[in-house]
Structure 1
Amino acid sequence: MIGIETLGLFLLSVMLLLLSPGPNMAFLLSYSTLQGARAGYAVALGILLADVVLTLLTAGGVTAMLMAWPPLFDALRLAGAAYLVWLAWKAWRSGGLMALAIQPKRRESEILRMAMFNSLLNPKALLFFMVFLPQFVNASQGHVGWQLCQLGAVLTLAAFLFHALLGRMAASVSGWLTRQPGFAVWQGRVLAIVLLGLAARLLLLQRPAQG
């Protein structure tokens, strides 16, 4: 079992991760604002499914193999940065979050699938599972794969509750936000700058040394 102290530190790290803007948050806020709370819940569930997949890949050693091969790590890092730059360009030109949810309205099942694939391609999520999650494993306790599953389960549940609540809040204020003059343009500029900052940080990320 994961120790209480380790679990507390891990939960704090997860909350800091969730609070930092990124593609998942942009996707969630866009559909919650445009299509209401049910769309937000669909996004939250799609992210949950992606987290389950990433947890299983990490526990099975797949992400460790990716980390051990520098060319693949660099390819993932560069592809992730390019993806963030593309999102920033789209947000800057098209008015921010509102542009990320393409009309006409989509069914919740379709939003769920899109959210899942968006999260699986999210470099922030991929690198968290590949780089950060294993740092909370105590190899001396054995059962490394089981420890990773426990940590992944905690992350998955915390992320689902956070995204569901955030989506509900966004839906509740969507009418007021969309009536504010210049909101979409201002929000789009801020989002674009944040995404460019994340892309720059990803480009500067170094592959951890393998022990």
Structure 2
Amino acid sequence: MPDAVNLSLFLAAAMLLLIVPGPNMAFVMSHSLAHGWRGGLAAALGISCSDLVMTFMVSAGVGTIVMSWAPAFELLRIGGACYLMWLAWQAVKKPARKQGCEVKLESFGSIFIRGMLNSLLNPKALLFFMVFLPQFVALGRGSISFQLIFLGSLLALIALVFHAVLGVVAARLGRTLREPRNRPLANYAFAAVMAAMAARLILFERPT
């Protein structure tokens, strides 16, 4: 178990990282605006589950093996960008296809999977876990793997609560957008966010 000092620093760093606007925050808010608080909660759960997956990858050393293969970063980056652009295209097609009829909201499960893939297909998310978690491990305080899993699980839990609250707030603000007459605008706004995230992944998320 990490000592009290490391744990306190970890909690402070985690909260600071969460409140800084980033792709996960944009992802949760866009789904909350488009699908209500359930959409935001599903996205938050998906992101937190991906955090747990990456935590276990780091603990088991899989993350290091994956990222040591030179093309892995580029494949994940391009794959993630293509996935986000596909989501944007699907959103753009909806207004034309469903004009004049009641629009069916995305299922909880599909948004949950989107949340997981959004994080898992961002190579710098895995690099972040590989760099961030070990800083707060206390040598001589038990198994390093256990400490990494504990810290990663704690981060996933904090992120889940933060993003769930953010989703509820965004959903309240987005009620007007979800009215049938404004639905095309909501879909275009969602598509714009997904496209912007894809552009960010291609243009700025390069290996350093």
Measured against the shorter chain, the TM-score band is: 0.7 to 0.9
Take 1:194 and 1:119, find their aligned partners in 2: how far apart are those partners? 12
User: Could you say which residue in structure 1 is the equivalent of 2:39?
Assistant: 39
The two structures have a TM-score, normalised by structure 1, of: 0.71
Aligned pair in 2 of structure 1 residues 168, 134: CA closer, same or farther (>3 Å)? same
Contact 1:87 1:192 in 2 (8 A): no
Segments of 5+ residues of structure 2 without an aligned counterpart are 96-102
Contact 2:38 2:108 in 1 (8 A): yes
Aligned pair in 2 of structure 1 residues 55, 89: CA closer, same or farther (>3 Å)? closer
Aligned pair in 2 of structure 1 residues 118, 188: CA closer, same or farther (>3 Å)? closer
Q: Is structure 2 residue 198 aligned with structure 1 residue 202?
A: no
SS of corresponding position for 1:175? coil
SS of corresponding position for 2:147? helix
State, as a whole percentage, how many aligned pairs show the same letter: 36
SS of corresponding position for 2:111? helix
Instruction: Spell out, residue by residue over 1:59-91, the C-alpha distance to the aligned partner (whole angstroms, 9 max, x if none).
Output: 222123334x2xx2x423323443565588789
SS of corresponding position for 1:141? coil
User: Could you say which residue in structure 2 is the equivalent of 1:29?
Assistant: 29
User: Could you say which residue in structure 2 is the equivalent of 1:79?
Assistant: 75
User: Could you say which residue in structure 1 is the equivalent of 2:59?
Assistant: 59
> How far did residue 184 of structure 1 move?
8.8
Segments of 5+ residues of structure 1 without an aligned counterpart are 206-211
SS of corresponding position for 1:2? coil
SS of corresponding position for 1:139? coil
> How far did residue 46 of structure 1 move?
1.5
> How far did residue 190 of structure 1 move?
8.4
Residue type of the alignment partner of 1:203 = R
The two structures have a TM-score, normalised by structure 2, of: 0.72
Instruction: Spell out, residue by residue over 1:83-134, the C-alpha distance to the aligned partner (whole angstroms, 9 max, x if none).
Output: 56558878999999x99xxx75211122212222222223342222222222
Counting matched residue pairs gives 194
Deviates more, 1:121-130 or 1:31-40: 121-130
Contact 1:84 1:195 in 2 (8 A): yes
Contact 1:80 1:202 in 2 (8 A): no
Residue type of the alignment partner of 2:71 = A
User: Could you say which residue in structure 1 is the equivalent of 2:49?
Assistant: 49
| Structure 1 residues 1-211: aligned runs within 5 Å | 1-18=1-18, 19-22=20-23, 24-67=24-67, 69=68, 72=69, 74-82=70-78, 104-175=104-175, 196=199, 199-205=202-208
Q: CA RMSD in A?
A: 3.4
Deviates more, 1:159-168 or 1:104-113: 104-113
Contact 2:30 2:190 in 1 (8 A): no
Deviates more, 1:104-113 or 1:35-44: 104-113
SS of corresponding position for 2:22? coil
User: Could you say which residue in structure 2 is the equivalent of 1:208?
Assistant: none
Aligned pair in 2 of structure 1 residues 58, 201: CA closer, same or farther (>3 Å)? same
SS of corresponding position for 2:206? helix
Take 1:53 and 1:87, find their aligned partners in 2: how far apart are those partners? 19
Contact 1:21 1:194 in 2 (8 A): no
> How far did residue 159 of structure 1 move?
0.7
